């Protein structure tokens, strides 16, 4: 979609399968049969977005590489399609000027570095919330893939932020903690139009109708819920469009 003169292209790195229990023990599949469409499960994308301004090419979230994350019946993810998605859009990794990770869960930062910790996007500055550094980059073994951890530690192109920050004209990072300590969303504004790229602050569009449904990945569920309420209000203003990393079919919601 176009927001003023800023182009936003959604694509996916893979599949995220979630059971109703992912959203809380009180979530029931029969209340949203349009979401839990196969064997009582939701089939969601591991979403990424390419944002092109006049002089910047920005990747929002970096997938999880050809790998899988099996957390039992509640959650299963398998990735690996990001390079194909970029090729389909007509963009090479070297053209990416900035990579924004809404947070540092494995399905949002997996393609930052190869297995030797060399950058996959050699000309890009990497942006993420400063409060995610300690629990992930300096966290216990298993908190992050070791080659990603090492790459972030040695890279000279990492920019951590702890307040609302402009990345490019019309592209601003805003703090939305709760899912992780310093999760952030991306505001796109141009020509009187506005969009929010929500990361996992709202994991799935069903939460717009079910505000008590959370994410099993929320590190601070109470704070995450407060942030969702704030974002719901922004999405109800009649102007702002919203899209989350795991919205079905990378769809958008007003």
CB 235 within 8 A of CB 253: yes
Element at 55 (helix H, strand E)? none
Residue 253 has pLDDT above 50, yes or no: no
Per residue in 144-188, pLDDT (tens digit) is 999 999 999 999 999 999 999 999 999 999 999 999 999 999 999
What per-residue confidence (pLDDT) applies to 38? 87
- Mean pLDDT over 55-73 rounds to 94
Q: What CA–CA distance (Å, rounded) separates 3 from 243? A: 13
What per-residue confidence (pLDDT) applies to 205? 85
For the chain, give the longest Cα–Cα distance.
50
Question: Which of the four pLDDT bands, split at 50, 70 and 90, describes residue 249?
Answer: low
HSE value, Cβ hemisphere, 13 Å, CA-based, for 134 = 3
CB 36 within 8 A of CB 49: no
Secondary structure (3-state) at 14: strand
CB 129 within 8 A of CB 152: no
**CA angle at residue 12 from 198 to 96, to 5 degrees?**
80
Question: Which of the four pLDDT bands, split at 50, 70 and 90, describes residue 250?
Answer: low
Residue with tokens 């297995």: 115
Question: Which of the four pLDDT bands, split at 50, 70 and 90, describes residue 229?
Answer: very high
- Mean pLDDT over 213-218 rounds to 95
Among candidate residues 220, 211, 6, the one with its CA nearest the CA of residue 103: 220
The chain-wide mean pLDDT, for the chain, equals 94
Q: What is the 3-state secondary structure (H, E, C) of 17-33?
A: EECHHHHCCCCCHHHCC
CB 189 within 8 A of CB 174: no
Q: What CA–CA distance (Å, rounded) separates 86 from 1? A: 16
Taken in order of first residue, the domains within the chain and their CATH numbers are 2-250 (3.60.15.10)
Per residue in 89-114, pLDDT (tens digit) is 999 999 999 999 999 999 999 999 99
Q: What CA–CA distance (Å, rounded) separates 120 from 132? A: 21
- Length of the chain in terms of residues written: 254
Query: Which of 23-37, 76-90, 136-150, 172-186 shows the lowest mean pLDDT across its residues?
Result: 23-37
The partner residues of 70 in beta bridges, in order of sequence, read 76
């Amino acid at each position: 979609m176009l927001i003023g003169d800023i182009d936003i292209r959604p694509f996916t790195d893979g599949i995220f399968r979630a059971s109703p229990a992912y959203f809380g023990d009180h979530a029931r599949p029969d209340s949203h049969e349009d979401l839990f469409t196969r064997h009582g499960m939701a089939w969601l994308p591991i979403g990424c977005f390419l944002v092109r301004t006049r002089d910047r090419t920005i990747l929002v979230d970096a997938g999880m590489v050809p790998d899988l994350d099996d957390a039992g019946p509640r959650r299963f993810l398998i990735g690996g399609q990001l390079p194909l998605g970029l090729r389909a859009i007509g963009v090479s990794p070297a053209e990416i000027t900035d990579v924004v990770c809404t947070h540092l869960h494995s399905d949002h930062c997996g393609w930052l570095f190869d297995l030797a910790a060399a950058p996959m996007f050699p000309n890009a500055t990497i942006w993420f919330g400063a409060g995610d550094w300690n629990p992930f980059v300096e966290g216990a073994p298993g908190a992050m893939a070791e080659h990603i951890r090492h790459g972030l530690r040695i890279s000279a192109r990492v920019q951590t932020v702890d307040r609302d920050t402009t990345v490019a004209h019309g592209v601003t990072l805003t703090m939305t903690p709760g899912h992780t300590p310093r999760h952030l969303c991306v505001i796109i504004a141009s020509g009187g139009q506005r969009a929010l790229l929500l990361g996992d602050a709202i994991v799935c569009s069903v939460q717009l109708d079910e505000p008590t449904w959370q994410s099993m990945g929320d590190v601070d569920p109470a704070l995450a819920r407060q942030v969702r309420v704030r974002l719901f209000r922004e999405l109800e203003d009649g102007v702002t469009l919203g899209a989350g990393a795991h919205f079905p079919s990378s769809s958008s919601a007003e």
